[in-house]
Amino acid sequence: MSQKTYHVAVVGATGAVGQQMLNTLKEKNFPVGKLSLLASKRSAGQVIAYNGENYTIQEAAPEAFEGVDLALFSAGGSVSKELAHEAVKRGAIVVDNTSAFRMDPNVPLVVPEVNEHDLKNHNGIIANPNCSTIQMVVALKPLHEKYGLKKVIVSTYQAVSGAGAKAVQELKEQTQSILKDEAFEPSIMPCASDKKHYQIAFNAVPQIDKFQDNGYTFEELKMMNETKKIMHLENLEIAATCVRLPVETGHSESVYAEFEKGTPSVQDIKELLKTAEGVTLQDVPEEQIYPMPALAAGLPDVFVGRIRKDLDRENAIHMWVVSDNLLKGAAYNSVQIAESLIKLGLL
Amino acid sequence: MSQKTYHVAVVGATGAVGQQMLNTLKEKNFPVGKLSLLASKRSAGQVIAYNGENYTIQEAAPEAFEGVDLALFSAGGSVSKELAHEAVKRGAIVVDNTSAFRMDPNVPLVVPEVNEHDLKNHNGIIANPNCSTIQMVVALKPLHEKYGLKKVIVSTYQAVSGAGAKAVQELKEQTQSILKDEAFEPSIMPCASDKKHYQIAFNAVPQIDKFQDNGYTFEELKMMNETKKIMHLENLEIAATCVRLPVETGHSESVYAEFEKGTPSVQDIKELLKTAEGVTLQDVPEEQIYPMPALAAGLPDVFVGRIRKDLDRENAIHMWVVSDNLLKGAAYNSVQIAESLIKLGLL
């Protein structure tokens, strides 16, 4: 019996997330019939191998989407704004990994473990949430279902690969310079398009993306607003502080959560997370077992540990949530969305 | 006019904090008359320079405290438990930088900017708080005075030098191994005396000190209990999550604070911190000015920035607090305590 296959386009195929998209399509055995690898004019002509075959990168342009069924975009917000509608116009469904359409009320923002059903309301474009949002909502969803989420305070510990391959290179070169006591000139972190650049090696930088008028960074507001949209919790109290670390891959989050109903014990929370979709519980303090980015990199799961009762409020807990920002935080979730579209008969 | 001088003993003189104690005594022009440098038997006989003179390390033993006026201890909790009372018996006042006596109700736990007056109740020993506690209470004190602190949630980003000089060496060597793609064997971090050791380079490790029965680490409970004691706020709601980072020196903290009275604006908070003792405000988001450990290392101040209103609760704010964990977090605060003792006529 032959399975239906799809013409898939990966936009931004040469980037860090684009590469992980290709890996994930292959590892998940996604039914790729035809594959179009698109990128900027600069990268056009490069050859990339996928599943034993060589593909030549084409320039991402409207006509490149002719005949495409599924377009996975991860080439920056401006490319998505320019080309996503062109792809849809030509019959493709777009899964967009940028922030271009995330808060558009006509665009579902989807983490399959949390709100797969929202895919039914798509108008051609589905947005993939921000990396730091995805891993948090996967961990919060089962707790919310049983106890009703009231308030969340999150502080993040984010990896450099979230800022792209050049940022990773800067981290490595700068680290080497510091170890050798040589001079260096930061040019990318914390935010390539912002005015000032700071040392990231052996440092902690409390800026991810640009500052907004209320003093929050765009990354922080993304986490706050996207969580409300994905979880359908308009009145959720939520605040984020986002910090970049000298970690290559794997975001970590210190999460405080207050509930509306019930006073769950640590054991109650563990029971819920043990069976939660997409979650792997790593929480045995007496054996020093807890999640860490160095262990999570390369794996698709959301790892949760350090679960503790708040000692003052019976209805509140603390936990530590870690995931590979390029996988569940980006590529893996995008491909999962595509799988859900097939499962729901939408692709 | 000749100033009164004191016979000062530094216990743990060869350690990372001990070295900073000597630097701080010199930089602050502390009136050192005679100086005794004490350490373990292993280090005895080593020669250390202070203020242009050479001093031979003596073994820390009871009789070494004869004639000592002020003993600054920083050689681990067991040394303090063994020798602090011996020093007091011989007429010394002890400022102890370990956790040995911090929660003893007969021992004042002091951050001069916050509770200098508690020194008056000393019985020979004064405890210097945990590094991560000190910088937080310095920032919270002026806010508490005006608005009444109700609840604090803190997530820390702590530097490796807090675990000693060998931990710093492990960070550097491991970082080099990873950059060269060579094998390495963690042997110190996250906690030298615990069973398992993990990679610290390019990682974030949510364990500092050992786990306690309630799932919190000892470091987290230190922050929670010490803050209540220093601020005289037995009923303060406070929770900490403590995380070790690949940063050499400088602890950072993401702090959420809820107040009992008033709804301060960002400007109100800035005005208070601008003139607060020991605090340097670094908070101009539009110019990307905020505190970072790479900027704070080597300086005695507590740096505060990223001040934001909580968007859900009018009586709550978020801020980012950074300080050198070896200076204000340890050596500098110890010497400040000694200066306060002189000022109050207690030494």
pLDDT digits (tens, 9 = 90+) for A95-116: 999 999 999 999 999 999 999 9
Mean pLDDT, residues A86-95 taken together: 98
Mean pLDDT, residues A286-304 taken together: 97
Q: Return d(Cα B103, Cα B96) in angstroms, integer.
A: 12
Q: Quickly count: other Cβ atoms within 10 Å of residue B46's Cβ.
A: 13
B2 pLDDT tier (thresholds 50, 70, 90): low
Q: Return d(Cα A9, Cα A69) in angstroms, integer.
A: 8
pLDDT tens string B133-171: 999 999 999 999 999 999 999 999 999 999 988 999 999
Cis peptide before B190 (omega within 30 of 0): yes
Residue B72, CA distances (Å) to B18, B76, B98, B102, B199 in order: 9, 12, 10, 15, 33
To 10 degrees, the CA torsion angle through B281, B283, B287, B293? 80
Residue A213 has pLDDT above 60, yes or no: yes
A215–B305: do the CB atoms touch at under 8 Å? no
Q: Return d(Cα B138, Cα B278) in angstroms, integer.
A: 7
Q: Return d(Cα A264, Cα A268) in angstroms, integer.
A: 6
| CB-based contact A179:A201 (threshold 8 Å) | no
pLDDT tens string B71-123: 999 999 999 999 999 999 999 999 999 999 999 999 999 999 999 999 999 99
Of A239, A247, A309, the CB nearest to B311: A239
Nearest-neighbour CA in chain A from B273: distance (Å): 17
Residue A279 has pLDDT above 80, yes or no: yes
A93 pLDDT tier (thresholds 50, 70, 90): very high
A318 is written with which tokens?
């603390």
Closest Cα partner for A124 from A86, A96, A94? A94
Mean pLDDT, residues A324-338 taken together: 96
A98 is in an annotated binding site: no
Q: Which domains does chain B have, with CATH numbers?
A: 6-128+330-343 (3.40.50.720), 133-325 (3.30.360.10)
Mean pLDDT, residues A205-213 taken together: 98
Residues 237-276 of B with CB under 8 A from A: 237-239, 241, 243, 245-248, 250, 252, 254, 256, 266
Mean pLDDT, residues A250-269 taken together: 98
pLDDT tens string B34-47: 999 999 999 999 99
The widest CA-to-CA distance across chain B, in whole angstroms, is: 63
pLDDT at B3: 81
A2 pLDDT tier (thresholds 50, 70, 90): low
A17 is in an annotated binding site: yes
Residue ranges of alpha helices (H) inside chain A are: 16-27, 77-89, 112-115, 131-147, 165-179, 218-231, 266-274, 293-296, 332-343
pLDDT at A241: 99
**Which of B157, B174, B198, B203 best probes binding to A when mutated, by most A CB atoms within 10 angstroms?**
B203
- Taking all residues of chain A, what is their mean pLDDT, rounded to a whole number? 97
All residues of chain A having their beta carbon less than 8 Å from the beta carbon of residue B293 are 202-204
Beta bridge partners of A56: A47
Nearest-neighbour CA in chain A from B122: distance (Å): 30
| Phi and psi, residue A37, nearest 5° | -105, 115
pLDDT tens string B259-283: 999 999 999 999 999 999 999 999 9
Residue B191 has pLDDT above 70, yes or no: yes
pLDDT tens string A115-144: 999 999 999 999 999 999 999 999 999 999
User: Active-site residue B242, yes or no?
Assistant: no
Residue A1 has pLDDT above 60, yes or no: no
Q: Quickly count: other Cβ atoms within 10 Å of residue B221's Cβ.
A: 18
Burial per residue of A171-190, b for 16 or more beta-carbon CB atoms within 10 angstroms, e otherwise: bbebbbebeeeeeeebebbb
Q: Return d(Cα B310, Cα B266) in angstroms, integer.
A: 10
Nearest-neighbour CA in chain A from B21: distance (Å): 24
A220 pLDDT tier (thresholds 50, 70, 90): very high
B211–A288: do the CB atoms touch at under 8 Å? yes
Q: State the catalytic residues of A.
A: 131, 251
| Closest chain B residue to A294, measured at CA | B203
Nearest-neighbour CA in chain B from A41: distance (Å): 32
A288–B172: do the CB atoms touch at under 8 Å? no
pLDDT at A3: 82
Mean pLDDT, residues A210-227 taken together: 98
pLDDT at B316: 98
Q: Percent of chain B at pLDDT above 90?
A: 98
A177 touches chain B (CB under 8 A): no
Beta bridge partners of A318: A256, A308
Residue B16 has pLDDT above 60, yes or no: yes
Amino acid at A253: E
With 0-12 / 13-18 / 19 or more C-beta atoms within 10 angstroms meaning exposed / middle / buried, residue B28 is middle
B331 is in an annotated binding site: no
Closest Cα partner for B276 from B149, B144, B142? B142
A158 is in an annotated binding site: yes
All residues of chain B having their beta carbon less than 8 Å from the beta carbon of residue A250 are 204
Residue B302 has pLDDT above 80, yes or no: yes
CA B265 to chain centre: 29
Burial per residue of A51-85, b for 16 or more beta-carbon CB atoms within 10 angstroms, e otherwise: eeeebebbebeeebbeebbbbbbbbbeebbeebbe
Q: Give a three-class secondary structure readout of B78-108.
A: HHHHHHHHHHHHCCCEEEECCCCCCCCCCCC
Amino acid at B12: G
Residues 14-53 of B with CB under 8 A from A: none
Mean pLDDT, residues B215-221 taken together: 98
Of B155, B179, B246, the CB nearest to A172: B179
All residues of chain A having their beta carbon less than 8 Å from the beta carbon of residue B190 are 288
| Closest chain B residue to A314, measured at CA | B237
B162 is written with which tokens?
């807090």
- Give the ipTM of the model, two decimals please: 0.96
